[in-house]
Amino acid sequence: MSQVALVTGAGQGLGQTFSARLLQAGYRVVVTDRSLDAAQASARLLDPAGERTLAVQLDVGNKADFEQALNQVLTHFGALHVVVNNAAVTKTTPLMQISPEEFDAVVGLNLRSIFLGCQVLGAYLADAGYGRIINMASLAGQNGGTATGAHYAASKGAILTLTKIFAKEFANRGVTVNAIAPGPIDSPAVHAAVPAEKLAGLCANIPVQRLGDADFLGDLIVQLARPEAYFTTGATWDVNGGLFMR
């Protein structure tokens, strides 16, 4: 029986791409989104027969939603093995124009989603003795951001720390926790954040001179989700075209 992976924010964009790559790799996939309609539409697109997907409404800022989603997964598939914490809110408000309320909303949701996903779903995986958690961070959390807002960048930087914290918590219970920090990816989110007339300039400032590939990110998730990836935990995987080098 194939393993089960849950992806947050999978109603569109990168989350949908990640779900597609996991399906292609043989996983059964729980497609979650704050909007049930979006989750269902994405699941139908990815798996028209509906045999290997489950659409679930999940507000990643709500602990009860995570608990309910887990119950739905266990009822439908009987198990959960992989969690991809992808959902996030992106804002590009200039630094000095960010209100306290907007700061709290962006940082709160982006961090809370990772914390709750790791806490609620991670606890189940640890009790089961096996699991893989992949948190989506960002280059913005490493270099202070380029086309994104300061609150987004700050939240993504903190995700790297939460990843290490949960990696240490679960390391001796068969669960790995890693982060992926993409730079500008050829994705709807980047095209929405960067005006078309500025896209060429953005690419010119990337050492490899082009946007990243979303499918490659999905393939990296598949690799980190493999049972053989047991020796990789607490790590951040950089996919940024050379914009940030350790």
Which structure tokens are listed for 117? 């996903």
In this prediction, residues 195-216 reach a mean pLDDT of 92
In this structure, of 87-91, 185-189, 240-244, the range with the lowest mean pLDDT score is: 185-189
Look at residue 31 and tell me whether its pLDDT is greater than 90. Answer: yes
Q: Yes or no: say if 228 and 171 are a contact pair by the CB < 8 Å rule.
A: no
Give the pLDDT of residue 232. Answer: 98
Give the pLDDT of residue 3. Answer: 98
What domains appear along the chain, each with residue ranges and CATH number?
A: 4-238 (3.40.50.720)
| Stated pTM of the model | 0.96
Catalytic-labelled residue, pool 27, 124, 130, 152: 152
Which structure tokens are listed for 157? 């930087």
Give the pLDDT of residue 58. Answer: 98
Whose structure tokens read 């959902």? 87
152 assigned to active site: yes
Q: Yes or no: say if 54 and 46 are a contact pair by the CB < 8 Å rule.
A: no
Give the pLDDT of residue 194. Answer: 82
N- to C-terminal Cα separation, the chain? 40
